[in-house]
Amino acid sequence: MIDAIKDTAKESMRAAITHLQEEFSTIRSGRANASMVDRLNVEYYGSNVPLQQLASFSVPEARQLLIVPFDKGALQSIEKAIQASDLGINPTNDGNSIRLTFPPLTEDRRKELVKIAKAKAEDARVSSRNARRVARQELEKLEKDGEISKDDIERAEKDLDKTTTEIVNEIDAMSNTKEAELMEV
C-alpha cells in the first residue's frame, strides 16, 4: 500500500518533468527547432490537423526551419496557420516547401524568455511538491485508519522527501541549462 502511494507520487513528479521538457522545447532560443511548430493546427480539407501529421521538418541551418508538406495542396493552409500563430515569423513559400528564418534574439527578448522559463520551472517544482503533499495526506489517512504505523509513515515520508529533492534538483538543472541556452549569443 505504501509503495503504491510512493510510486504514484513519483509518477506525478516525473510527469511534471516531462511537461517541463515539452514547455521548454516551445520557448524559442534563437535556433530553429521543429517543436516550435509541433502544436500548430492546420485547416486541411475542413478539419484541424496537427502540422506534424501533414509535413516533415528539417533544420538546414541553425536559424532556419524547412517544412516540406506530404501533400503540396496543403502548402497554403500551412502558410496561413504559421502566419496566424504567435511565432512572429513570416514564412517563405517556394511552391514546394516553406522556410522559416528565425531572427537573432535581442537582449531584452532573451531576458524575457528567461523569466518565462523560470516561471515554467517553478510551476514544475510546485507540481512535484503537490504530488508529495497528496502522498503524505494519503499516508496520514492510512495511519488514522490504523492500517500502517507511525514508523512506516516516517520511512515513507523520508523516501518521498528524497525523491522530491531529486526531482527538484533535476528541474533546477534543466532550468539552468535552458537559461544558458537562451542567453547564448
pLDDT digits (tens, 9 = 90+) for 19-74: 999 888 877 766 777 777 877 889 988 889 998 888 999 888 888 889 999 988 88
Q: Which CATH number fits domain 2-26+106-183: 1.10.132.20, 2.40.50.140, 3.30.1360.120, 3.40.630.30?
A: 1.10.132.20
Q: Are 175 and 135 in contact (CB under 8 A)?
A: no
Beta strands in the chain (DSSP E): 41-44, 47-50, 55-61, 64-69, 92-93, 98-101
pLDDT for residue 185 is more than 70: no
How far is Cα of residue 6 from the mean position of the Cα atoms in its chain?
24
pTM: 0.72
Residue 168 pLDDT grade (very low, low, confident, very high; cuts 50, 70, 90) = very high
CA-CA distance, 84 to 161, in Å (whole number)? Answer: 45
pLDDT for residue 176 is more than 70: yes
> What's the pLDDT score for residue 118?
94
